[in-house]
Structures are given as structure tokens and as C-alpha cells.
Amino acid sequence: MNERIVKVAVVQAAPILFDKLSAFQQIASYARQAKAQGAKLLLFPEVFIAGYPRGLSFGARVGSRTMEGREDFARYWESAIDVPGSDTDLLGEIAKEAGVYLIVGVVERDQDYSHSTLYNSMIYIGPDGRLLGKHRKLMPTGSERLLWGQGDGSTLTVIETPFGRIGGLICWENYMPLARTAMYAKGIDILLTPTADARDTWQATLKHIACEGRCYVLSSNQFVTKAAYPADLNGYAELAQDPETLCRGGSAIVGPLGEYVTEPVYGKETILYADLDMSLVTKSRFDFDVVGHYNRPDVFQLHVNETKQNIVTFT
């Protein structure tokens, strides 16, 4: 780490669901704001491109599906992006213009096989506009498993920057102790946790992880209202009994001793800023380094398979 103080920015917002243009417009707008404030890292929520379909069933029940739900899924597929592809090129232009490390949650289309499976991914764009890497969510949660495939260990990505190593786990992946251990072992200094979880217990998770990993934790959640949902969705009526605000936010920034640097914000769209003193990461590990002096490899060992898993091999 060369830069000891770095300004970071965390976005709390949501696009129009299934609308890539809306998402890109917001990303460009917030990138301009971050640049004006001198931020070097800009984080967006889980599947910001093109939205987290909270409250929709896609016509799925145990043992049956509906054609209307399949039509909504096809619309979701159309709003997904290829990684790499023209959409990541556009994100690269935005990142380069703003001079930031841009991390965005996206719905990613499979490019290896059928081009039909979707993944809940986060992508890393450098300030030079290059695509630096991606991470696919290892375990979609609950009903998410019908929408997104499972990632593998080949995308447990950590990026070296002038101010430290950055990398992330998506939402409830952060409840997987072994996934966290893998990230700690990669020397993570700033852990990025894009999420869709607005519960009070999520804040306890952020503080615990920061204290456990002795790293900064940046959590970017969505602020979503029904206005973000196109009224012509087949499943729109499913929202009738839900409150007007579907996700209240709770984005926050936590320091390496488990204390808020920027406290959670609820009930509005916003962008959070913080100046991170990266020297505190080293200082915090004086008495606790979970993958160093506070570890017992003679008792506990973790083996991580980072090999890309191929469904079909042609010879």
C-alpha cells in the first residue's frame, strides 16, 4: 500500500427494473459526483444492472411454472450483460472519465455454453477503463436459485490497488465462514459487500466481518420503491400488498476495528463518502490476524478450489 488515505464512495440507489439504460445513466451520474468529491473507489449495490426483482415470483411454484413468468424472465435476461462485452466497455469509459475503481453488481449472461443461464456477479473496472475481474455469487439465496446459477472458486477475485487489496462477496455469501476465510487469506484490505439485505442484523454482520478480518467493509444496498417497477410486468400485481418502499437501504462503511466510519443511511437514495486511513488496517492486526498469528494451521486447514469448472470438455 502506497496511498495511506483514500476517499471511497458507496451508492444507495436502484435503477428502473429490467432497464439497462436507467442503470447506466445512474452509474454515469454518480461517477461524476464521486469524481467531483475526489473519490478513488465507487461501489454500487447487488445486481444494480439491471435490478434486484424483489417481490416477484416469475410464476414459479413448487412443481409448476407459468408462461407469464417465463416472459418476465426473458425480459430479465434481455437486461443482463455479457462480461466482457460492449456494456463493460461502456462502464470502462465511465470509470476512466471519473478516474475511479468502479465496482458494480450486475446480472451476467453465460457466454460459455447455452448463453441462457444468468449469474449474480460483481465486476471490477480500473481507473484506466480496463476490466480487472469479476466475481460470481457462489450460492444464490432462497428463491434467487431459480434466477441465477452458482459461481465457482475461479472468481474469488482480489485486486491490487495503490491503496490496498480490494475484493468482495455478495450479500449472504458473507455469512459463509469459509468464503470469508478465503478472502482474508488473499490479504483483503477493503472488503466490498454489495447487498439487498436491509435488516438490522446485516449491520451486525458488517461489524463482525470488519472486526474478524481487520479490514474496511463497504456495504452498498439499494433504496427501492414501487416506482422502480414497470407497470406492464406480468408479475406486477404481486406487489399489491407490499409497502411503497420495498428496500430501505442501510448502506454503511465500517472500519477495521468494527466501528462505523459512515453510519447506515435509511429511507433515501444517496451516496456515502469516507476517507479511509489504510494504516489502520496494519495497526488493527497487531493483536488479531485471523490468517496469520491468530491461526492454528496444525488444527484447522482450508483448501480452496479455484479451478474453473467446465460442464463440457471438447477434445
Helix 20-36, helix 86-98: angle, nearest 10: 20
Active-site residue, from 20, 40, 134, 137: 137
Residue indicated by cell numbers 473507489: 41
Residues 6+ apart with CB under 8 A from 105: 44, 45, 46, 47, 48, 49, 120, 121, 122, 170, 194, 220
Residue 102 CA to residue 104 CA, distance in Å, equals 6
List C-alpha distances in Å: 232 to 23, 75, 117, 245: 19, 11, 24, 19
Look at the chain and count its residues: 315
**Contact of 131 with 115, CB cutoff 8 Å:** no
Active site residue 186: no
Residues 6+ apart with CB under 8 A from 123: 83, 88, 91, 103, 104, 106, 108, 131, 133, 134
Active-site residue, from 40, 134, 171, 207: 171
215: closest CA among 132, 158, 265? 158
Residue 192 CA to residue 149 CA, distance in Å, equals 21
Active site residue 171: yes
DSSP for 189-255, written as a single string: SEEE------SHHHHHHHHHHHHHHTSEEEE---EEEGGGS-TT-TTGGGGTTS-SEEEEEEEEEE-
Active site residue 247: no
**Contact of 173 with 179, CB cutoff 8 Å:** yes
Q: Give the phi and the psi of residue 98 in degrees, each rounded to 5.
A: -85, -15
Residue indicated by cell numbers 445513466: 25
Position 25, amino acid: Q
Active-site residue, from 46, 108, 134, 211: 46
- Active-site positions? 46, 137, 171
